[in-house]
Structure 1
Amino acid sequence: MTSWPGGSFGPDPLLALLVVILLARLILWSCLGTYIDYRLAQRRPQKPKQD
């Protein structure tokens, strides 16, 4: 195990970085999905043009 600068043992820095990246992706993906749903909900009342 590698030690943190403080001297105490902790998780592998690469593993911690991976977890942070995955959490960031999850949060961003959730926000993006909410935004897309919001945009689609705004467009829904418009009726398509009929010839």
Structure 2
Amino acid sequence: MCAKKNEEKENPKLVDLKRKRKRHLAYSYKSYDQSKSTERKVDQMISN
């Protein structure tokens, strides 16, 4: 907790960038996961 507060005091813009990057990574990973699951469904349909 202390480290985060110190970071915000140092450079709020940098901290904001880090947060946005984390959010973006999580979002892209989620969409990647969804595309993988749809691929699997298509594979199952083809095999059946």
**Structure 2 length normalisation: TM-score?**
0.70
Structure-1 separation of matches of 2:41 and 2:35: 10
Equivalences for residues 20-31 of structure 1 within 5 A: 20-31=19-30
What are structure 1's unaligned runs of at least 5 residues?
1-8
What are structure 2's unaligned runs of at least 5 residues?
1-7
In the TM superposition, structure 1's runs of 4+ consecutive aligned residues that sit over 3 Å from their partners are none
How many residues matched? 39
Q: What is residue 6 of structure 1 aligned with on the other side?
A: none
**Structure 1 length normalisation: TM-score?**
0.66
Q: Deviations over 1:4-28 (max 9, x none)?
A: xxxxx72311000000000000000
Letter of the structure 1 residue corresponding to residue 45 of structure 2: Q
Greater Rg, structure 1 or structure 2? 1
| Percent identical | 10
Q: What is residue 41 of structure 1 aligned with on the other side?
A: 40
